[in-house]
């Protein structure tokens, strides 16, 4: 099944008094790039979180935000910096005397000053925290993968339709090739007549013949292009990450079309090559979204 690299997932989990909210966003990237944003209390679980995600996501940039929303009673404690509060109070008294202003400082003012109150750093027990975090991670990851799968199915359908259009163009080129070859022969005959009527330059005639003969045959390129197209469609239906392989096959198809273009001495074939290149470019653009 073809997967896209774009998606979004959100999950929540609550167990053992701990509650978590997890959000995941993934976008296109050449490789796998995982960006984690999590509370420092969860740093000990970072490696486990990474492995959980990377087991399912093989390519793309994934941004993960983890929020600790709930903790059991007693795990958080408020610390009062009494020395700092007294220093603030003394500074305010001095300011009051110097400016000859009444001193109207209450407790609500003091506790609102920076660093007077602070939360004591928590040490979270991994065995109790992980079940809730795992639940939130799995829910977010599942929704992310569902979106990537649904988008991948749309991409695959679009690519198959474009492959169908390319096949039609290949058949048109194959049907046009004999007429183009005949036109090359007629031009060759005219060239011979021109040379024979004037001064005969053997080397020039031979060079002209070699160039015309080389441009006449595109059968091999069409066969290889058809083979690459078969490989592309087969790869598209292969499970797992296929984006890089599809990109490689698309490059090979471009190479064959370029060769056909260099040989096309016929206007009809030249115009068809332009259409083929335009369609292949659309295919390459869509491949950049595939895992």
Span 238-253, mean pLDDT? 92
Span 96-105, mean pLDDT? 81
Domain annotation for the chain: domains and CATH numbers: 7-72+127-149 (3.30.230), 78-119 (no CATH), 152-287 (no CATH)
Residue 215 clears pLDDT 60, i.e. is over it? no
Residue 198 clears pLDDT 80, i.e. is over it? no
Confidence label for 89 from pLDDT (cuts 50, 70 and 90)? confident
pLDDT in tens, 15-67: 998 899 999 999 999 899 999 999 888 898 999 999 999 999 999 999 999 99
pLDDT in tens, 204-214: 665 666 566 55
Contacting residues for 133 by C-beta, under 8 A, at least 6 apart? 13, 18, 20, 22, 42, 45, 49, 66
Confidence label for 237 from pLDDT (cuts 50, 70 and 90)? confident
Q: Could you tell me if 254 and 280 are in contact, meaning their C-beta atoms sit under 8 angstroms apart?
A: yes
Closest among 23, 20, 26 to 10, alpha carbons compared: 23
Span 4-23, mean pLDDT? 94
Residue 96 clears pLDDT 70, i.e. is over it? yes
Residue 90 clears pLDDT 70, i.e. is over it? yes
Residue 184 clears pLDDT 70, i.e. is over it? no
Q: DSSP letter at 105?
A: -
Q: Average the pLDDT over each of 91-95, 98-102, 192-196 and give the range with the smallest value.
A: 192-196
Average confidence score pLDDT of the chain:
85
CA–CA distance, 239 with 49 (Å, rounded to integer): 25
pLDDT of residue 202: 58
Span 101-119, mean pLDDT? 77
* SS3 call for 46: helix
pLDDT of residue 67: 94
* SS3 call for 111: helix
pTM above 0.75, yes or no: no
* SS3 call for 67: strand
Residue 73 clears pLDDT 80, i.e. is over it? no
Closest among 59, 60, 52 to 28, alpha carbons compared: 60
Residues in the chain, total:
291
% the chain with pLDDT above 70:
82
CA–CA distance, 290 with 249 (Å, rounded to integer): 14
pLDDT of residue 71: 79
Confidence label for 80 from pLDDT (cuts 50, 70 and 90)? confident
Q: Could you tell me if 170 and 224 are in contact, meaning their C-beta atoms sit under 8 angstroms apart?
A: no
* SS3 call for 184: helix
């Amino acid at each position: 099944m073809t997967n896209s690299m774009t998606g979004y997932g959100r999950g929540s989990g609550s167990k053992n008094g701990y509650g978590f909210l997890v959000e995941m966003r993934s976008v296109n990237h050449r490789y796998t790039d995982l960006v984690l944003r999590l509370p420092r209390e969860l740093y000990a679980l970072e490696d486990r979180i990474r492995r959980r995600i990377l087991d399912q996501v093989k390519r793309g940039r994934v941004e993960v935000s983890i929020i600790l929303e709930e903790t059991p009673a007693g795990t958080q404690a408020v610390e009062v910096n009494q020395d700092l509060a007294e220093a603030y109070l003394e500074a305010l008294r001095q300011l009051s005397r110097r400016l000859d202003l009444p001193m109207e400082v209450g407790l609500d003012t003091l506790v609102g000053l920076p660093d007077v109150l602070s939360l004591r750093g928590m040490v979270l027990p991994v065995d109790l925290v992980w079940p809730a975090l795992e639940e939130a991670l799995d829910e977010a990851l599942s929704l992310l993968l569902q979106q990537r799968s649904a988008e991948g199915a749309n991409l695959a359908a679009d690519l198959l339709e474009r492959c169908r259009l390319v096949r039609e163009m290949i058949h048109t080129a194959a049907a046009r090739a004999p007429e183009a070859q005949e036109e090359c022969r007629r031009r060759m005959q005219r060239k011979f007549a021109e040379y024979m009527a004037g001064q005969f330059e053997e080397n020039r005639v031979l060079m002209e013949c070699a160039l015309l003969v080389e441009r006449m045959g595109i059968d091999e390129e069409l066969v290889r292009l058809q083979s690459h197209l078969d490989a592309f469609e087969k790869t598209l239906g292969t499970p797992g990450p296929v984006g890089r392989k599809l990109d490689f096959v698309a490059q090979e198809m471009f190479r064959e079309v370029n060769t056909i273009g260099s040989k096309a001495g016929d206007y009809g074939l030249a115009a068809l090559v332009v259409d083929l290149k335009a369609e292949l470019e659309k295919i390459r653009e869509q491949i950049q979204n595939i895992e």
